[in-house]
Amino acid sequence: MHANYHKYLLNFKRPSGTSRGVLTTKETWFLVISSEGKTGIGECGILRSLSVDDRPGYEEKLKWVCNNITLGPKLLWEELLEFPSIQFGVEMAFKSLASQNPFILFPSEFTNGQKAIPINGLVWMGEKSFMKQQIVEKIQHGFSCIKLKIGAIDFKAELDLLDYIRTEFSSEDIEIRVDANGAFPVEEALNKLKRLCEFDIHSIEQPIKQGQFEKMAELCRESPIPIALDEELIGITSVTKKEELLQIIKPQYVIFKPSLIGGFRGTQEWLDIAKKLKIGWWVTSALESNVGLNTIAQWTFTKESPMPQGLGTGGLYTNNFDSPLQVKNGSIQYDPKINWDFDL
């Protein structure tokens, strides 16, 4: 068995804004395993400034994985607790190696092209006119659930955008999710949530910065809008700590980004706890290429969530890999008649 890795820089079609800044490129790494004439591909989707493994020594750890690839996925995963995106890549690469088709890791009615996964339409931060343009396009493309990134432009302008949507579409027609990425100051958060509530918001992701457990728990108790934890889950690897966090905060929802929380094994631990505590959930990609997005979508389909998922990021880049993944009518679909064009 042999392994190597390749760095790949994804270029955004248009600079994409979040409350943490504007993204123009996205760095990712591909782990390639070869054995007995077969190849497995895994994507280590690091997200700078957000991934807990955005730290010195990342490439050295990839080299270590390649040099110790014969340890296998379980032992490697356990040695990589501080590098969740590499955990994800390792799991994916071994699953790919073991599959008949290296791009079909979880065969299902999704990969057969028989069923699709409903997704939210993502509206990026920017000038009010740009955000409005995105909203119109998402609705025209059949999305019934829209997710708006908020917290970077003037709050009144964001409220105006929500008012625009609700003037045109009721909550029965369009579900609105908002994502603050921790942008609200603690002392202003509840008041802002009350303002947002006027527009029949489905949920808000991470209204305040992660790590403020008691404050977040208080918000979850008092907020008129259901709160979804996102960044809050990053960096917590112990099952005991995971359960403790959800029991303390008691969010209405949790959002899983597998490459940020320990791959599928780490995500499944969170999922099992959420189900036990009757907390709702959905899965979101973390700006991976179509290679990583493909695997996340396939795994998500097997979990049978009826909620719209956050898997519509494949069209953001100028140099993504052509794939069978298609976004149509507010859903992500896999067209088995379309071939992959993956070339590093």
> What is the DSSP track for 221-275?
HH-SS-EEESGGGTT---HHHHHHHHHHH--SEEEE-GGGTTHHHHHHHHHHHHH
**Is residue 132 domain-shared with residue 229, that is, in the same domain?**
yes
pLDDT confidence bin for 176, thresholds 50/70/90? very high
**Residue 159 token pair:** 């409220």
Average pLDDT, the chain: 93
Ranges of beta strands (E only) in the chain are 2-18, 21-35, 38-44, 117-118, 121-123, 145-149, 175-179, 201-205, 227-229, 253-256, 280-283, 325-328, 331-334
Q: How far apart are CA 316 and CA 318, in angstroms?
A: 7
pLDDT confidence bin for 19, thresholds 50/70/90? low
Domain-embedded: residue 83? yes
Choose, from 26, 138, 192, 257, the residue flagged as catalytic: 257
**Is residue 130 domain-shared with residue 247, that is, in the same domain?**
yes
Q: Within 10 A of 224 (CB to CB), how many other CB atoms are there?
A: 12
**Is residue 68 domain-shared with residue 162, that is, in the same domain?**
no
**Is residue 34 domain-shared with residue 121, that is, in the same domain?**
no
- pLDDT value of residue 48: 83
Domain-embedded: residue 341? no
Domain-embedded: residue 152? yes
What 127-135 contacts at long range (C-beta under 8 Å, 24+ apart), as own/partner pairs, is: 127/153, 128/153, 128/157, 128/160, 128/161, 131/161, 132/161, 132/164, 135/161, 135/164, 135/165
Q: How far apart are CA 256 and CA 205, in angstroms?
A: 12
Domain-embedded: residue 343? no
**Is residue 71 domain-shared with residue 214, that is, in the same domain?**
no
Per the structure, the count of domains in the chain is: 2
Q: How far apart are CA 174 and CA 151, in angstroms?
A: 21
**Is residue 85 domain-shared with residue 161, that is, in the same domain?**
no
pLDDT confidence bin for 20, thresholds 50/70/90? low
217-227 pLDDT, tens per residue?
A: 999 999 999 99
pLDDT confidence bin for 188, thresholds 50/70/90? very high
pLDDT of 344 strictly over 80? no
Domain-embedded: residue 112? no
295-325 pLDDT, tens per residue?
A: 999 999 999 998 999 998 778 899 999 999 9
User: Residue 147 belongs to a domain with what CATH number?
Assistant: 3.20.20.120
**Is residue 177 domain-shared with residue 301, that is, in the same domain?**
yes
Choose, from 26, 138, 149, 242, the residue flagged as catalytic: 149
Element (H, E) at 220: helix 213-222
Q: In what order do the strands lie in the sheet with 253-256?
A: 121-123, 145-149, 175-179, 201-205, 227-229, 253-256, 280-283
List phi, psi (to 5°) of 178.
-125, 150
- pLDDT value of residue 131: 79
Which structural domain range is residue 177 located in?
A: 117-334
Q: What is the value of pTM for the model shown?
A: 0.94
Most confident of 48-52, 205-209, 340-344: 205-209
The β-bridge partners of 254 are 229, 281
- pLDDT value of residue 128: 78
Among residues 49, 68, 98, the one where a domain terminates is: 98
Domain-embedded: residue 145? yes
- pLDDT value of residue 133: 87
**Is residue 213 domain-shared with residue 171, that is, in the same domain?**
yes
- pLDDT value of residue 119: 96
Running DSSP on this structure, what letter comes out for residue 50?
Answer: T
Give the mean model confidence (pLDDT) for residues 208-233.
Answer: 96
Q: How far apart are CA 329 and CA 85, in angstroms?
A: 31
CA 324 distance to own-chain centroid:
19
Give the mean model confidence (pLDDT) for residues 206-219.
Answer: 95
**Residue 143 token pair:** 């999305």
- pLDDT value of residue 32: 98
Q: Within 10 A of 104 (CB to CB), how many other CB atoms are there?
A: 19
Q: Within 10 A of 251 (CB to CB), how many other CB atoms are there?
A: 26
**Is residue 130 domain-shared with residue 202, that is, in the same domain?**
yes
**Is residue 81 domain-shared with residue 207, that is, in the same domain?**
no
Domain-embedded: residue 106? no
109-166 pLDDT, tens per residue?
A: 999 999 999 999 988 777 778 878 888 888 888 999 999 888 877 899 889 889 988 9
User: Residue 14 belongs to a domain with what CATH number?
Assistant: 3.30.390.10
Domain-embedded: residue 339? no
Percent of the chain's residues with pLDDT above 70: 98
Reply yes or no on whether 7 is catalytic: no
Reply yes or no on whether 303 is catalytic: no
